[in-house]
Chain A
Amino acid sequence: MPTEDRRETGSTGPDPVGAGGGAERAGRSRRSMARAVPVAVGLAAAAAGLGKRYLDARARRTEVEPAAPPTPAVGSTSPGPRAAPMTAPAPVAVPAPESAAATAPAPAAAAPRRSEDPVVAAELDRRRRIGPEIHDAAPTGDIRTLWDDHLLNLRLVNPANRRRFKVIVVGTGLAGAGAAATLSELGYQVEAFTLHDAPRRAHSVAAQGGINAAKGYKADGDSIDRLFRDTVKGGDFRAREADVHRLSEMSVRVIDHMTALGVPFAREYGGQIATRSFGGVQVSRTFYARGQTGQQLQIAGAQQLLKEVGAGRLKLHTRQEMLDLIVADGRAVGIVTRDMVTGDIVPHTAHAVVLATGGYGNVYFKSTLAKSSNVTATWRAHKRGALFANPCMIQFHPTSLPLTSEWQSKLTLMSESLRNDGRVWVPKEPGDDRAPEDIPEEDRDYYLERMYPSFGNLAPRDISSRAAKIQLDAGKGVGPLRNGVYLDFRDAIARLGRRTMEERYGNLLELYTDATGEDPYTSPMRIAPGPHFAMGGLWTDYNQMSNVPGLFVGGEASFNYHGANRLGANSLLSASVDGWFVLPWTVADYLAPLLGQEPVPHDHPAVIEAVAEASGRVDHLLGIGGTTGPDVYHKELGQLLTDHVGVERHAEGLAKGADAIRELKDDFWSNVRVVGHGQQLNQELERAGRLADYLELAELMALDALDRDESAGAHFRSEHQTEDGEALRDDDNWTSTSAWEAAPPDGVPIRRSEPLTFEAVPLATRSYK
């Protein structure tokens, strides 16, 4: 159950919020507050009834056999770009995104998963092709010892030889900083890149709730296997078992390591590390540092990175944006970056490239993510041949602040803990304009309490988000832009007194007042679902290596742990595990056989071509000379996605959305205006470049959502729901990951599937009843 939380300082710190009153306290509480956001969850549930016909046909599943037997294979695999053994360069043409398709045509008999609806099926056939299945090259065997067994089989690099290898790490978030610092400590030549002015600023810094680890410090029955099971189930059975088990195992080491690095985890009076439970989970396994867990982990990681910089072992490049991946002879051999201050576009080559560039939730324009979050790095890699997995899987957080003004720049999260005492409601009549205080009890609809009597206002994230959307679509949204629902403390204040509320939520409510000018003690707060986390990302194998040899991916940029829905506090964990405890081992395995080879020289044709292409794009953007700034387009894109690829989707809307996105993209390329020039710090140019990639990603998100003809976790297709409105998976056809190949010129994207098997945690229905 998704339960990450942003809690107020008071619930975890030594002093009750509001006490103290000193200037320091005021500042401190302000900082650790939650913040919110909005999202006009758009329209149209034209589809409300559209797929009901499926309902009768499909019984609600409880236990289902996996669809296809796994095709386990270590090292070499089924047809596909990874088929080449790692010791020899894959004989694939240079930067050919379409190469995989070319070398491995879709086997007609592969029983492609297709929609049952002939109209939808035809629509899909027009928009995508189906490619051969892929397999993850994960070893098979006892899942409990899999990672250890695997480590034993990984190749090693002699310490004396490590200096002879160069590794590029893009991103200095939890995943990137961990990988870069560790590889550097081990003796490899590492170059780290970030678009920020300092490594500490990566968006990991904004996470508050905490990080999960199966330490079992409380005698409450937690264990590695339990975290594993919770994660597989929470992901609605769309993640890889082997990878998730490794995540659980390594969680233990992450806490040890972070503690040693000086992360001030909250402590008990006896000096032990404190844990808390996140709503819904019955064990207490979330480690936290006040309300700033992400900040503390991120700063610790950045410090380790700077330690290596100070020691002269690691070269850090700040304010450098990766614009492209360089692929030569089928391998990732470098990147092209733009110096954001001087505008210089230059190549960097190495033996391997690690991407840890975070999530793409900002494709919605307003999300809970930082403004600079982008998909450019991973999307460019995708265009160069890397498979993009499950792009439609996006988690919406139910308690962000709705937009109050046109100019509100993002959807800040408000702590989910507010739902402990607040009651969520909307007016019964659409368009009811009365002030909330004037709406009498009988005209209010406490819809969560009505729809989910047992969970009520504490219904899990995806369910709450969806329920809110239903109200908004029905025209019952509240606030000036009619894009929120009420979260009302009136009854709690009457019951507990204003003082108690101040103690519990003082700083959150103050932040809300600050943002909106409204007083939540006298009139209800407004909240709305906001795009929050990308479960999808670049496809990787068990080694966190993409299908392009030499291209490694970690953290939110990859896809493999969270399936269709991420559990709260699991994402700081996955980024940390990838960075500190997976990539350093697996990258070495890839490098070992390359001993003696030099990084590709800068006059290699692939390097020259990539640089020319990146510069060409920049020049093109600057030269369009249209009339509309990039932000205007981004805003429109956000609205299209929110309407058609949002909390709830349906076939018709997705097809429409995909078309509208394509039109918008065409319009962008003919009518965008990017002021300024390229040889300077040009933030308009940065925005335009990122948006250009978001426009392409958005279309693929719509296509993936259309293609995946089932509901799973955060991907809720209204055609596929149970009678009581729960997500209805189609395990027979969709127990798989969709991994997309970029469209060849004038072609359509190719969807490949990686079958998933669930042996340690048998398939079951996720239920909140």
Chain B
Amino acid sequence: MRLILEVWRQADAASPGRFERYEVDGVTDEVSMLELLDMLNAQLVAEGREPVAFDHDCREGICGTCGLMVNGRPHGPEDFTPACLQRVRTFSDGDVVTLEPWRAGAFPVVRDLVVDRSALDRIIASGGYISTATNAAPEALTMPVNKHQAEAAMDHAACIGCGACVAACPNGAAQLFTGAKVAHLAELPQGQVERYERVRSMVATMESEFGSCTNYAECVPACPAAIGLDVIAHLNRDFRTAVVVQRRGEVPERTDVPWLARLRGGPWWQSDPDDAGDGTTR
């Protein structure tokens, strides 16, 4: 079949962008959304024109690198499926398909369909981990974990970090992503020690970079990892508890970690003299 593509072209973060119209012929049903771009690019390169830049890597739905809006929907028409696994099957000959980068204030466009999602990593760097020094772990079996809890933790841990939830959200909120990590770690006994500091800090970063959740739930069908809204409930519950715990002084504030400064003032990355100060870790 022949498809008409309206593709967002933008040279770099500073330049204005615009849609450009291309035609790709000979598209077969099993071609994926990214392979459609491969076809277009091969055509452009053969004509000596610059190909469309887009992020991708594993092409099998696990790395979270791919992501683009297809006709206004994150990743494409199918629910719960990353772009690399979506096929063009649902389109018909002559259809116009619009391809745009993730739309979210926290994800500035880098070029064409490529955006900067480092804000997600800054949420993780604020506490989305368990602090255990290498070689300090006890024998694994000393920490039994209930099977259902392990499975629930796995459900939440399945997030591929693609950012579709943010792109889908009318508020540009990152609650689904943050909630998934908070719920994953809070589900496990290993995650209890830092549980409340973690959530306070992660939420602080999240709020400083992303919009706020008002329960539209548009993120859920967009999520390739099928993370559920329950993680947002989990996040809210833990956050409220954390505030109470903190007020009671049950958890003394850490002083060894610069990012906690954010809770009192500026974000940690601005304290790095080598950094551009625009929040990128590049």
Cβ contacts under 8 Å, A332 to chain B: none
Cβ contacts under 8 Å, A289 to chain B: 154, 157
Of the residues B11, B48, B124, contact of A675 by C-beta under 8 Å: B48
Complex contact A310–B268 (CB within 8 A): yes
Cβ contacts under 8 Å, A268 to chain B: 147
Give the docked Cα–Cα distance between A302 and B129 (Å): 9
Cβ contacts under 8 Å, A33 to chain B: 61
Interface of B is mostly: loop
B-contacting residues, A191-239, CB 8 Å? 196-201, 203, 205-206, 215, 217
Contacts known (A299-B157, A683-B51); A23 close to B190, Cβ less than 8 A = no
Complex contact B30–A309 (CB within 8 A): no
Complex contact B226–A24 (CB within 8 A): yes
Complex contact B137–A256 (CB within 8 A): yes
Most B-side CB within 10 Å, residue of A14, A201, A310: A310
Contact with B along A629-653 (1 / 0, CB 8 A): 1010000000000000000000000
**B63 part of interface (Cβ distance < 8 Å):** yes
Cβ contacts under 8 Å, B226 to chain A: 23-28, 31
Of the residues B131, B223, B268, contact of A307 by C-beta under 8 Å: B131
Cβ contacts under 8 Å, B272 to chain A: 312, 315
| Min CB–CB distance B95 → chain A (angstroms) | 18
Complex contact B271–A312 (CB within 8 A): yes
Closest residue of chain B to A35 (Cβ to Cβ) is B60
Cβ contacts under 8 Å, B259 to chain A: 310-312
The size class of the interface chain B forms with chain A is 35 or more
Give the docked Cα–Cα distance between A515 and B60 (Å): 11
Complex contact A185–B134 (CB within 8 A): yes
Cβ contacts under 8 Å, B48 to chain A: 673, 675
Give the docked Cα–Cα distance between A514 and B81 (Å): 12
Contacts known (A26-B80, A629-B42); A262 close to B137, Cβ less than 8 A = no
Give the docked Cα–Cα distance between A310 and B118 (Å): 13
| Min CB–CB distance B124 → chain A (angstroms) | 5
Complex contact B125–A309 (CB within 8 A): yes
Give the docked Cα–Cα distance between A548 and B114 (Å): 38
Complex contact B58–A206 (CB within 8 A): yes
Query: Which of A91-99, A403-411, A711-719 binds B?
Result: A403-411
Q: How many residues of A contact B (CB 8 A)?
A: 98
Contacts known (A303-B124, A306-B124, A629-B46); A197 close to B116, Cβ less than 8 A = yes
Complex contact A405–B30 (CB within 8 A): yes
Of the residues B50, B124, B138, B225, contact of A256 by C-beta under 8 Å: B138
**B53 part of interface (Cβ distance < 8 Å):** yes
Contacts known (A13-B151, A28-B155); A198 close to B137, Cβ less than 8 A = no
Query: Which of A317-325, A469-477, A659-667 binds B?
Result: A317-325
Cβ contacts under 8 Å, B130 to chain A: 260-262, 303
**A503 part of interface (Cβ distance < 8 Å):** no
Give the docked Cα–Cα distance between A407 and B185 (Å): 40
| Min CB–CB distance A589 → chain B (angstroms) | 16
Cβ contacts under 8 Å, A253 to chain B: 135, 137
**A292 part of interface (Cβ distance < 8 Å):** yes
Most B-side CB within 10 Å, residue of A25, A262, A372: A262
Cβ contacts under 8 Å, B63 to chain A: 201, 203, 205-206, 370
Closest residue of chain B to A290 (Cβ to Cβ) is B154
Complex contact A684–B35 (CB within 8 A): no
| Min CB–CB distance A28 → chain B (angstroms) | 4
**A304 part of interface (Cβ distance < 8 Å):** yes
B-contacting residues, A505-536, CB 8 Å? 511, 514-517
Give the docked Cα–Cα distance between A260 and B42 (Å): 47
B-contacting residues, A391-433, CB 8 Å? 404-405, 407-410, 412
Closest residue of chain A to B257 (Cβ to Cβ) is A311
| Min CB–CB distance B155 → chain A (angstroms) | 7
Complex contact A271–B146 (CB within 8 A): yes
**A380 part of interface (Cβ distance < 8 Å):** no
Contact with A along B215-239 (1 / 0, CB 8 A): 0000011011110100000000000
Cβ contacts under 8 Å, A684 to chain B: 45, 50-51
A-contacting residues, B44-69, CB 8 Å? 44-46, 48-51, 53, 55-65
Complex contact A31–B158 (CB within 8 A): yes
Contact with A along B125-166 (1 / 0, CB 8 A): 111111111111111110111111011011101101100000
Give the docked Cα–Cα distance between A35 and B62 (Å): 11
Of the residues A266, A307, A317, A409, contact of B125 by C-beta under 8 Å: A307
Give the docked Cα–Cα distance between A477 and B256 (Å): 63
Contacts known (A404-B30, A673-B48); A260 close to B138, Cβ less than 8 A = yes
Closest residue of chain A to B187 (Cβ to Cβ) is A264
Question: 23 A-B contacts, Cβ less than 8 Å apart?
Answer: A14-B147, A24-B228, A31-B61, A31-B82, A31-B160, A201-B64, A203-B57, A264-B151, A264-B187, A271-B145, A272-B144, A292-B62, A294-B62, A310-B125, A312-B258, A318-B281, A370-B59, A371-B57, A409-B38, A631-B42, A675-B44, A675-B45, A675-B50
Given contacts A28-B80, A292-B62, A673-B45, 9 further A-B contacts (CB under 8 A): A197-B55, A203-B58, A206-B63, A303-B129, A310-B259, A371-B57, A409-B59, A517-B29, A675-B51
List the 10 closest pairs (A to B, CB-CB), nearest first.
A27-B80, A271-B144, A27-B226, A310-B125, A260-B137, A303-B129, A629-B45, A306-B125, A264-B153, A259-B140
